[in-house]
Structure 1
Amino acid sequence: MSASSGLASKRPASQNFAWRDQARGLIDDLLERSPAIYWTDFLLSAGIGWAMTAVYFLATPWSALQIGAFLLAAFLFFRAGTFIHEIVHMPSGQMVWFKRAWNILLGVPFLMPWVMYSNHVEHHNHRRFGTPTDGEYLPLGSSPIGETVKYLAQAPLLPLFMMVRFGVLGPLSWFNAKLRHWVLTRASAAVSNPYYSERFPKRFDKHLKIVEALCFAFLATLAMLVAFDVITGWQVFMGYLLLAFTLGLNWVRNLAAHKYVNDGTPMDHAGQVEESINITGQTWLTVAFFPVGLRYHALHHLFPALPYHNMDEAHRRLMQHLPADASYRLTNRDSFFTVVGELWQSARNTRREESAMRAWLPRSNRS
C-alpha cells in the first residue's frame, strides 16, 4: 500500500495533473476574501459559544440544558477555532485586527495563539508533505492499527500539554537558552506528528513572546481565582473538559483529511491533491464536523489561497467542467465514516514489519 502510494506520487505531473491550469481558470474569480463574511461568521460563532459556556457552568449539573450547552459551545468553539487555518494562509498585512480578535476571544483563553500554527505552510511544501518533516502527517493508513489508537489516545491530554507549555516551560525558557531552544523546536508548533522537530520561525519570535506572556497571565489569573476561592477546582475541571472535547473534535476530524498511506516519499503537488480528501455528503454531521471549508481538503491542497466561503462554488465548477479522468474527482468521499473505514481497513492489513511509521521514529527507535 505505502509503496504504491509512493510510486503514484512520483508520476510526472504532466500525466496526472494536466487539468490544473484549467481548474485555476475556473476559480480565478473566487480567490478574494470577504472580510464581512469572516467577521460575521467568527463573531457569531465565538459569541454564542461563550454564551453557551456560561449556560454550561450555571445550569443544573447533568441536566439536559447543561449537556446541550456543553455540546453547542464545543461545536461553536470548534467552528470559530477553525479560522486559525484561514489566518495562517492570509498575507501578513491582511485582516490584522481579525487575527488579533481571534487571539483575544480564542487564542489566549484556549492556549492556542494562531502563531503556533504558522508551521502549517510547511504542510503544503512538496518537499515536506507526507514525509517525517511534515508536522501534520502521520502514515496511519500504512501502519498497524495500534498507531491510530495511540493517535486518538492523545486527544484528552491536549489541554494538559498546553497548560504545561504556557504555564511552566514557556516562562522558564525565557531565562534558560538551552531550554528555550528545546521549547522552540519541540513545543512551539500545533502538530499531530509527535516526532516533528523544527525550529519555530524566527520572524515570529517577538510575536511568540507576547502571546506566551498573555497565556501565562491568563493561567496565573486562573490560579489566583482558585486560590482565593472565587472559582472552584470543579469549575476548572469543567473548563478542561470543554477544552478537551473541543480540541478533540478537530483531532478526530483530522482522520478524514488525508488517506495517510504515504511511506515518507516526497510528493509533488499532484500527489498532495490525490492523497487528500473531499467530504461531499452534505449532512448535518458534515456541516458540524467540517466547518469553515474543512470538508474540501483536497480542494484546499489544490488551491491553498482559496477562501472558505467560496469553496462550495469552486468545487461545483470543478466537478462540472473538469475532464472525466481528472484525478481531482477521485478525492471525493460521501462521509467521514467512509474515509475512516478505509483508513481502518488499510491499517488492519498492514503488518508491523511493513509499518511506514518506522520512517517517522527517531533513528534510535527504528527496529
Structure 2
Amino acid sequence: MTMQQTINPAANARATAEPAKRARIADDKDMLRAARDLTKDIAEAKASIYWTDMLLSAGLGYAALALAILTDSVPLAIAAGLASALLLYRALLFIHELSHIHRNALPGFRKAWNLLVGIPMLTPSFMYEGVHTLHHKRTQYGTIEDPEYLPLALMKPWSLPLFVLIALLAPPALVLRFGILVPLGAVFPPIRKLVWERVSALSINPDFRRRPPEGELKPRVFWQETLGMIWAWCLIGSIFAFGWKPILVALAVFSFTAVLNQLRTLVAHLWENDGEAMTVTAQYLDSVNVPPPGRIAEIWAPVGLRYHALHHLMPSMPYHSLPEAHRRLAAHLGAGSTFDGANHKGMFTLVARIARSTMRVSRDQSIK
C-alpha cells in the first residue's frame, strides 16, 4: 500500500511535525535527562498496590459477570455486564505490566495473574511477553519489525472502523485457538508452526511473525497453553451442561472488553510514522498522554496507560508511579516544552485527528 505523509501542522511544531520529518526529530536531551533524574525515588514496584488492584478488579469483575449470567432482569444484566467488562478490562491490562517488571520484582504475581485472569480470559502472559518489548526497541518502534505498530493515520479512512470492529471476533477466535488449534498443532507440526507465528501474540502488524520461544519463556508457554486448552474445552462443554446463555453472556462481555482495548490502542499513538527508525523523542511525540484534569481516561486507559507516551520514555516505571512522574516532569519542563507536546485532551479528539489524517491521505491519493 502506498501511503502519503501529510498532516496539518499545529501550534507545537515538535508535536505535529509532518510524518516525513517526525522520524528525524533530534532527541531532547533535557527531557531525557529529567525523566531519568527526577523519578529515581519512585521507580520501585509496590507489591501491595499491584496485588490489591489486580485481585479487586478480577474478583469484582467475575462477581459482576456471574450476576449478568444469573439474573433474569435485562437492565440488571446489562449493567452488571458493563461493570464486569470494565473491571475485567482493568485486570487484563496488568499483562502490560508483566511484560516490563523485573522477573523478581513481584514474587508469584505473574503466576497468580495467569491463573486468575490470563487463562480464564484466554490471554495468558506469553502472548505479550517477548512481543511487547520489541515495540520499545529503539531501532524497531514504528518499523515493519514492530508487532504493535500500523501507520493508521496514513491509511484509508475505512481502515479505522475495521481496525476497531474486528476486535469483536477476538473472544471466539481465542476459544478456537486454544480449544482446537493447539491440540491439532500438537499432532501436526505445520499447524503448530502456523499458530505460533501468526496467532500467538497480541500484535496488530499483520506482517509480524513470531519467533519460537526460548529460555524461561518456553516452559511457561507449555503450561499456559495446556491450561488454556483445558479451559477452552470447559467453555465449549459448558454449552451442553448449562445451555447457551452463560457462554454467550461471557463472550459478549469479553467482546466489549476487546473493543474497548482496541479503541485504546487506536489512540495510544498518532500512527504517523512511515516505517523509518525514530529517535526516542520522536517516539515519545508519536505516542499519547491523556493526563488530568479529565477523569474518564482512567476508565478506557487504566493501569497507567493514560500516560502511554511517558511510558515510552520510562518503560520500566511501575504504573502507580506514572501520575507522579508526569507531575514532576510537567512542572520541571513547563508548558510548550517537548514534554508537553505528547499531552492530549481525550479519546474523541485523538480519533478525530487520526480520521482527518486518513481523509487527507485518501484525498491526496485520489488527486494523484
| Fold match (TM-score > 0.5) | yes
Per-residue deviation, residues 268-294 of structure 1 (Å, max 9, x unmatched): 211110100101244342121111111
Per-residue deviation, residues 46-102 of structure 1 (Å, max 9, x unmatched): 11111111111111242x221111111110001111111011101223324111111
Is residue 79 from structure 1 mapped to residue 90 from structure 2 by the alignment?
yes
The total of aligned residue pairs comes to 350
Q: Which residue of 2 aligns with 1:207?
A: 220
Task: Find the partner of 1:138 among 146, 150, 155.
Answer: 150
Could you tell me how far apart the structure 1 residues matched to 2:325 and 2:150 are?
A: 28
Could you tell me how far apart the structure 1 residues matched to 2:29 and 2:270 are?
A: 19
Alignment-mate amino acid for residue 162 of structure 2: K
Could you tell me how far apart the structure 2 residues matched to 1:181 and 1:353 are?
A: 41
Q: Which residue of 2 aligns with 1:2?
A: 5
Q: How does 1:1-367 map to 2 (within 5 A)?
A: 2=5, 4-13=18-27, 16-62=28-74, 64-118=75-129, 119-203=131-215, 204-227=217-240, 230-322=241-333, 326-351=337-362
**Could you tell me whether the CA contact under 8 Å between 2:5 and 2:274 is conserved in 1?**
yes
CA RMSD of aligned residues (A): 1.8
Q: Which residue of 1 aligns with 2:14?
A: none
Could you tell me how far apart the structure 2 residues matched to 1:299 and 1:89 are?
A: 14
Could you tell me how far apart the structure 1 residues matched to 2:347 and 2:293 are?
A: 11
Q: Which residue of 2 aligns with 1:360?
A: none
Could you tell me how far apart the structure 1 residues matched to 2:114 and 2:101 are?
A: 15
Could you tell me how far apart the structure 1 residues matched to 2:212 and 2:301 are?
A: 28
**Could you tell me whether the CA contact under 8 Å between 1:140 and 1:148 is conserved in 2?**
yes
**Could you tell me whether the CA contact under 8 Å between 2:138 and 2:279 is conserved in 1?**
yes
Alignment-mate amino acid for residue 327 of structure 2: R
Change (3 A) 1:353 1:163: farther
Offset of residue 157 of structure 1: 0.4
Offset of residue 128 of structure 1: 1.4
Change (3 A) 1:354 1:121: farther
Could you tell me how far apart the structure 1 residues matched to 2:365 and 2:42 are?
A: 43
Offset of residue 352 of structure 1: 7.6
**Could you tell me whether the CA contact under 8 Å between 1:143 and 1:352 is conserved in 2?**
no
Q: When the two structures are superposed, what TM-score results if normalisation uses the length of structure 2?
A: 0.90
Offset of residue 224 of structure 1: 2.8
Partner-residue secondary structure (3-state), 1:278: coil
**Could you tell me whether the CA contact under 8 Å between 1:281 and 1:335 is conserved in 2?**
no
Could you tell me how far apart the structure 1 residues matched to 2:213 and 2:265 are?
A: 24
Could you tell me how far apart the structure 2 residues matched to 1:175 and 1:353 are?
A: 51
Change (3 A) 1:282 1:11: closer
**Could you tell me whether the CA contact under 8 Å between 1:136 and 1:193 is conserved in 2?**
yes
Q: Which residue of 2 aligns with 1:363?
A: none
**Could you tell me whether the CA contact under 8 Å between 2:31 and 2:339 is conserved in 1?**
no
- Please say which of residues 159-168 and 306-315 is displaced more in the overlay: 159-168
Gaps of 5+ in 1: 356-367
Offset of residue 194 of structure 1: 2.6
**Could you tell me whether the CA contact under 8 Å between 2:289 and 2:307 is conserved in 1?**
yes
Change (3 A) 1:352 1:202: farther
- Greater helix share, 1 or 2? 1
Gaps of 5+ in 2: 7-17
- Please say which of residues 335-344 and 3-12 is displaced more in the overlay: 3-12
Of all paired residues, the percent bearing the same amino acid is: 35
Alignment-mate amino acid for residue 222 of structure 2: K
Alignment-mate amino acid for residue 206 of structure 1: P
**Could you tell me whether the CA contact under 8 Å between 1:129 and 1:137 is conserved in 2?**
yes
Offset of residue 354 of structure 1: 5.2
Could you tell me how far apart the structure 2 residues matched to 1:289 and 1:173 are?
A: 36
**Could you tell me whether the CA contact under 8 Å between 2:134 and 2:140 is conserved in 1?**
yes
Q: Which residue of 2 aligns with 1:362?
A: none
Q: When the two structures are superposed, what TM-score results if normalisation uses the length of structure 1?
A: 0.91
Per-residue deviation, residues 186-235 of structure 1 (Å, max 9, x unmatched): 111111223321314323222112111101111212333333xx211232
**Could you tell me whether the CA contact under 8 Å between 1:9 and 1:270 is conserved in 2?**
no
Could you tell me how far apart the structure 2 residues matched to 1:24 and 1:90 are?
A: 17
Could you tell me how far apart the structure 2 residues matched to 1:2 and 1:200 are?
A: 35
Could you tell me how far apart the structure 2 residues matched to 1:72 and 1:104 are?
A: 21
Could you tell me how far apart the structure 1 residues matched to 2:256 and 2:336 are?
A: 40
**Could you tell me whether the CA contact under 8 Å between 1:144 and 1:349 is conserved in 2?**
no
Alignment-mate amino acid for residue 336 of structure 1: M
Partner-residue secondary structure (3-state), 1:149: helix
